[in-house]
Amino acid sequence: AQSVSQHNHHVILSEAASLELGCNYSYGGTVNLFWYVQYPGQHLQLLLKYFSGDPLVKGIKGFEAEFIKSKFSFNLRKPSVQWSDTAEYFCAVNDPPNQGGKLIFGQGTELSVKP
Amino acid sequence: DAGVTQSPTHLIKTRGQQVTLRCSPKSGHDTVSWYQQALGQGPQFIFQYYEEEERQRGNFPDRFSGHQFPNYSSELNVNALLLGDSALYLCASSSGLNIGSPLHFGNGTRLTVT
């Protein structure tokens, strides 16, 4: 069965620092990958998604992620974080890949950005 | 505004009781998925409803059941509550079953079982 691992549980950064959050999935073949963000007190929101094509995906608010098939990874990056990026970030994969609605989530990474 | 509306926002129940949670999807959406998010964990898929039928199901016991109404709203029912059922229950709506349709999540219902 498909699973998703996020190795960083809590990351603390200062403003303007660069961010990279790790995400690995377990099952090869066709995958559809997502990053969701949950700001304090708000609902989960889609940051970006990868279905096919260019493995470097750009999302909202300056975030991007790179799909590396050989490493089963989909890491999230941002060159310069802001205090407003403080949130919990979830990586997810669609399972099965041909039908929407069922996502397998990682356990999440809490990001704290110090002003 | 999330667009997806869940009620109630908080609920406290006693072990062994039954609970019903409700979800109204975002306008224009016809598919509803339910997730359970335990403290410190990512959401876990419970099941998905489309055209008033359960289409996919995660690894949850039969105590968890659901329903979708003709107006696309949905209910999640949990019978014989256990302490371990305490969690945030999230509803997500989308349009159809296509993978290209992104999920829109509600703010969730916080269930506490004592």
- Which tens digit of pLDDT belongs to each residue from A45-100? 999 999 989 999 999 999 999 999 999 999 999 999 999 999 999 999 988 777 77
A52 part of contact set with chain B, CB < 8 Å: no
Q: What is the mean pLDDT of chain A?
A: 93
Interface touch A46/B106, C-beta < 8 Å: no
Q: Quick one: which of B82, B99, B91, B81 has its CA closest to B36?
A: B91
Q: For residue A2, give both structure tokens.
A: 């498909």
What confidence score (pLDDT) does residue A2 get? 86
Q: In the predicted model, is pLDDT for residue B26 greater than 90?
A: yes
Q: Quick one: which of A52, A41, A34 has its CA closest to A89?
A: A34
Q: Locate the DSSP E strands across A1-115.
A: 4-5, 10-14, 19-21, 24-25, 33-38, 45-50, 56-58, 64-68, 73-78, 87-94, 103-105, 109-114
A32 part of contact set with chain B, CB < 8 Å: yes
Q: In the predicted model, is pLDDT for residue A101 greater than 80?
A: no
Q: What is the mean pLDDT of chain B?
A: 95
A92 part of contact set with chain B, CB < 8 Å: yes
What confidence score (pLDDT) does residue B2 get? 55
What confidence score (pLDDT) does residue B97 get? 84
A109 part of contact set with chain B, CB < 8 Å: no
Verify cis geometry, omega within 30 degrees of 0, for the bond prior to A55.
Answer: no
* Number of CB atoms found within 10 A of residue B63's CB: 13
| Tally of residues, chain B | 114
Q: In the predicted model, is pLDDT for residue A7 greater than 90?
A: no
In which band, very low, low, confident or very high, does the pLDDT at B102 lie, cut at 50, 70 and 90?
confident
CA A53 to chain centre: 18
Q: In the predicted model, is pLDDT for residue A10 greater than 90?
A: yes
**B60 neighbors B47 (Cβ within 8 angstroms):** yes
Region A15-23 average pLDDT = 97
Interface touch A106/B96, C-beta < 8 Å: no
Burial (CB count <10 Å: 0-12, 13-18, 19+), residue A2: middle
Chain A residues close to B90, C-beta within 8 Å: 44
A70 CA: distance to closest CA in chain B (Å):
23
- The amino acid at residue B50 is Y
What confidence score (pLDDT) does residue B1 get? 54
Distance CA B69, CA B98 (A): 20
Residue of A43, A97, A108 with shortest CB distance to B42: A108
Region A7-28 average pLDDT = 94
- The tens digit of pLDDT for each residue in B33-87 reads 999 999 989 999 999 999 999 999 999 999 999 999 999 999 999 999 999 999 9
A10 part of contact set with chain B, CB < 8 Å: no
Region B100-112 average pLDDT = 93
Burial (CB count <10 Å: 0-12, 13-18, 19+), residue A9: exposed
A42 CA: distance to closest CA in chain B (Å):
6
Residue of B97, B100, B102 with shortest CB distance to A46: B102
**A115 neighbors A22 (Cβ within 8 angstroms):** no
Distance CA B20, CA B24 (A): 14
Region A27-45 average pLDDT = 90
Chain B residues close to A43, C-beta within 8 Å: 2, 4, 105-108
| CA atoms in the 13 A half-sphere facing the CB of A29 | 8
What confidence score (pLDDT) does residue A27 get? 80
Q: For residue A39, give both structure tokens.
A: 């700001």
**A36 neighbors A47 (Cβ within 8 angstroms):** yes
B93 part of contact set with chain A, CB < 8 Å: no
**A36 neighbors A99 (Cβ within 8 angstroms):** no
